[in-house]
Chain A
Amino acid sequence: MELLVLLLVPLFAAAVLGFVGDRKFAPEINILGSAATFIAGLGLALKVYDGGPMLAGGKFFFVDAFNVYLAVLTSFVSMTTAIFSRRYMRREREHGRVGHWGMRFYHAMFQLFIFAMLLCLLTNNVGVLWIAMELATLSTVLLVSLYRTPTAIEAAWKYFILCGVGIAQALFGTVLLYFAAEKVLGEGGEALLWTNLRQVSGSLEPTVLSLAFVFLMVGYGTKVGLVPLHNWLPDAHSEGPTPISAVLSGLLLNVALYALVRCKVLVDGSTGTHHAGDIMMGFGLLSILVAAFSLLRQKDIKRMFSYSSIEHMGIATFAFGLGSPLATYGGLLHMLVHSLAKSSIFFTVGHASQMHRTQDMDKIKGLIKGSPLVGWGLMFGVMAIIGMPPFGVFTSEFLILTATIKDAPFLTPFLLLGLGVAFAALLRRVQPMVFGDAPSYQKVLKVAHLPVLLHMAMVLAIGIYLPDFLSQWFHKAVELMK
């Protein structure tokens, strides 16, 4: 029941907003739709928390602790982003950066994007997972180029091409997976169901699955933004409207990583070796280092935080690659806190760029003087994201570091190097932006308070005291990933 609501509400809202997206009450509909989705998600989560993993829709949907947690996160962040988007897009519309059709399109695609992500998370069919992932990409491509500037079109084009190519590789991997599954499970839709594959993973042919994993890694890894397949990410995340940057950075990357981890579990069961995990660790570490060093060279604020997303996704991938329960726990926690912190940062960054009419960091100054919420929000957001205690990111990074020292001690210096460089780079950049006097061209505007406050409060709370039910939730998810 909740599942149906969860999936149908965004779809319905997308259809409605396609028609009324430019009216005065369109953002409110957007928020309402997202709120309904969130409540449905919570309901589903409670059901699974009490009752354990469940199959629905005739084995088409599978809900366990791992994906319901991500589903709740997705619907929550999309709700807060919808709240933020209300004020933000209204201003963009007033400034004339978006037209009538643009607003309708934006709102409709926003909801469609949520639908695609939720479908991707909740489906049991590995083929449908791919379809939903592609749908999620396609629904955001034209949103990235919404402003129709040359750079926006370039970013959207790169996004389209690179992600399209990557995802095509993932399809080939899925085909190979189906090929291996067919031998054991027979033909037809049954062979693509993750639950079935999990059960028989021991008898799936290891050579084929290793080959399949390489393709899946390249494919879904492109969507996660792992180096060297990351070229589209800084452009796409910096050129679109800020709410889209927030959901892309905060949510889509998580969903892609989820898909990757699901496949990894299958491959591990089949090959019995640690190859898949090693590959993930390699890519993750590379992403951390390259992104951290790239952070030093950035001039555009959203671009800088996109590289930060790459780095954090690298950390999460690395953690899942390690595979030990502690590392997996850390990875799950990291996905949560990164989502919250990064989207909060993008909210403040969006308002900051609107206040100064530019995304160039050299021109943004004195945020605290101009708007305390934006300034302090950005400051605390950055402190959170670089892993300073008492914020939640510190907890997850600490856990992952501990796990690394335990299982792969010789990799710890690299991890520390990446984290350290990112720490310094981001802090160095954010200080001149928040402190100091406000320049003359800064405009003060009405800011969306709730999302930023809510997110930062949650990140702080998780850092100080991880609620018991959350901890239990993670433990359950870790169990399922053995």
Chain B
Amino acid sequence: MTIQVAAQIIGFLAALVLLTAFGMLVQRRMTGLIHLFTWQGLFLSISTAVVGFVAGKHHLYISSLLTLALKVILLPYILHVLVRRLRIQREIETIVNVPLTMLIGIALVIFSYHLTAPVRELSTLVTRSVLAIALATVMIGLLMMITRRHAVTQIIGFLAMENGLFFAATSATYGMPLVVELGVALDILIAAFIFGIFFFHIHTTFDSLDVEQMAKLKEED
């Protein structure tokens, strides 16, 4: 596989990752969200493997497998179990309406493109142009967390943000050192367990997962 072909494949996968990020932004159904998240993880994993292959960095294969195990199999499984147990069906309405959210998302893509310009000029990697997409995914995850009112959706936005960060690590550099990758994966796993527990607490205390109810702690005048 030549560099050119690999660059095209990685670019295509990056576009797919961005597409899934936008898809998650506008998706209303919970199971649809989890599926999109799974696809995003899959594209990420494949992209990492391709980079590892074309650059000859074998530790990226381990990263790719780790991503596959964690983000394509384990986390979606946990989320599905949670959704079933908590009997979540549909989404609660978003704070900002969907077309406006999409426009903001596009603005964020353009913004992250400008922001990562200095890095792009300096990088010699085959994946350098992908950093903008990675940062855009992070920001779209952030947008999702801000504009959604359901706790599970906020968490999925958080995980999408982590996906973007992982993508950034493999596109700006050839992946962080393995010890850091393992640590980050461990952190995400712990976070997954914690939010799983959290959902049950919230559900039993508030009887719903609408985040807007958790806005009581304010200053009183």
Contacts and interface: CB of A to CB of B under 8 A. Distances in A.
Contacts of A188: 177
Contacts of A128: 179-180, 183
B199 to A, nearest CB: 10
Nearest to B177: A189
A148 interface: yes
B187 A131 contact: yes
B195 interface: yes
B183 A178 contact: no
A469 B135 CA distance: 47
Interface in B116-159: 118-119, 122-123, 135, 138, 142, 145, 151, 154, 158
Contacts of A158: 214, 217
Nearest to A167: B187
Nearest to A135: B187
A127 B180 contact: yes
Nearest to A182: B173
A113 interface: no
A285 B214 CA distance: 30
Interface in A131-164: 131, 134-135, 138, 141-142, 145, 148-151, 153-158, 160-161, 164
A235 B176 contact: no
Interface stretch (A205-213, A267-275, A403-411): A205-213
B115 interface: yes
Interface in B193-221: 194-195, 197-198, 201-202, 205-206, 211, 214-217, 219-221
Given A141-B194, A157-B202, A160-B198, A131 B122 contact: no
| Chain B: number of interface residues, binned into ranges | 35 or more
Contacts of A130: 180, 183-184
Contact of A165 (B135, B145, B151, B173): B145
Given A153-B201, A175-B176, A179-B173, A168 B145 contact: no
A192 interface: yes
Contacts of A131: 180, 183-184, 186-187
Contact of A176 (B151, B162, B172, B219): B172
B174 interface: yes
B180 A150 contact: no
Interface string A175-197: 11011001100011101100000
Contacts of A174: 176
Contacts of A145: 198, 201
Nearest to A142: B194
B138 to A, nearest CB: 7
Contacts of A127: 176-177, 179-180, 183
Given A158-B214, A168-B165, 8 more contacts: A125-B179, A135-B187, A145-B201, A154-B217, A172-B138, A182-B173, A188-B177, A208-B122
When A and B form their complex, which 4 residue pairs have the shortest distance between CB atoms, in order from nearest? Answer: A127-B180, A131-B183, A154-B214, A207-B118
